[in-house]
Structure formats: C-alpha cells, structure tokens
C-alpha cells in the first residue's frame, strides 16, 4: 500500500525534483501515484484516506478544519511525540526483511 524512502536517500532525490525539495518543510512528504506531493497535515490526510476504513473517516474529519489549524496540530504532536511514544532508543533497531522491502533506498 505504501513505499517509504528516507529524505535524502537516492530514491527520494531521484523522485522529488530539486526545485520541489528546496521548498519542502522538515515534515512527512507524501507523493501520490499521479505525482502530487503533500506535506504536514495534508500528507496525513492522504495517508488516512489510503488506509481506508475508519481511518478514511478520520481523514474526512480533518478536512473540516482549515490547513493552518491542522498544521498547528501536526506541529504540536511532532513536538510532543516523545511524551506520547517515549524517547528513541540509543540504537536504531535492525529492520526485518519484510520491513526492508517496504523502503526504497
């Protein structure tokens, strides 16, 4: 359903034109199959829609709010993510083969 690529990876640099990369925020970046690029809360809405089911409902609900409000919420969660999910481990965990197949390097 999704492919992942770290920002700055060879795939990311190949898929996202330099002019577009220069304007991207430090945020989630979603590129759809038709080439549209979404960031911050717009990217989250696209992901929720793609997940379907109840998640599509949440994506629809987020669209009811102006982008500036949604992006403010996105930034607040980004700042508080360690409170929600705990601090990162000292060492990045090794990915399983299944997880590695989901990334484009």
Is 52 in contact with 19 (CB distance < 8 Å)? Answer: no
Q: What integer pLDDT is reported at residue 69 of this predicted model?
A: 95
Q: What integer pLDDT is reported at residue 91 of this predicted model?
A: 58
* Mean pLDDT for the chain overall: 87
Q: Please name the residues in contact with 73: beta carbons below 8 A apart, sequence gap of 6 or more.
A: 41
3-class secondary structure, 37: strand
Kindly list the distances between the CA atom of residue 3 and the CA atoms of 16, 41, 83, 86, in Å, as whole numbers in the listed order: 14, 19, 27, 25
Q: Enter the tokens of residue 32.
A: 């759809």
Evaluate the CA torsion angle 87, 91, 95, 96 in order and state its sign.
negative
Q: Enter the tokens of residue 67.
A: 């982008």
Kindly list the distances between the CA atom of residue 82 and the CA atoms of 2, 41, 71, 76, 88, in Å, as whole numbers in the listed order: 25, 19, 18, 11, 8
Tell me what the mean pLDDT of segment 2-20 comes to. 86
Would you place residue 9 in the very low, low, confident or very high pLDDT band (cuts 50, 70, 90)?
confident
pLDDT in tens, 47-96: 999 999 999 999 999 999 999 999 999 999 888 887 877 766 665 667 78
């Amino acid at each position: 359903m999704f492919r992942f690529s770290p920002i700055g990876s060879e795939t990311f640099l190949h898929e996202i034109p330099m002019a577009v990369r220069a304007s991207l925020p430090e945020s989630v970046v979603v590129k759809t199959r038709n080439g549209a690029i979404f960031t911050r809360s717009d990217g989250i809405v696209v992901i929720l829609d793609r997940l379907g089911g109840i998640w599509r409902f949440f994506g629809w609900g987020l669209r009811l709010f102006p982008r500036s409000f949604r992006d403010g919420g996105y930034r607040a969660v980004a700042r508080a993510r360690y409170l929600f999910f705990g601090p990162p481990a000292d060492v990045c965990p090794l990915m399983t083969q299944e997880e590695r197949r989901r990334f484009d390097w």
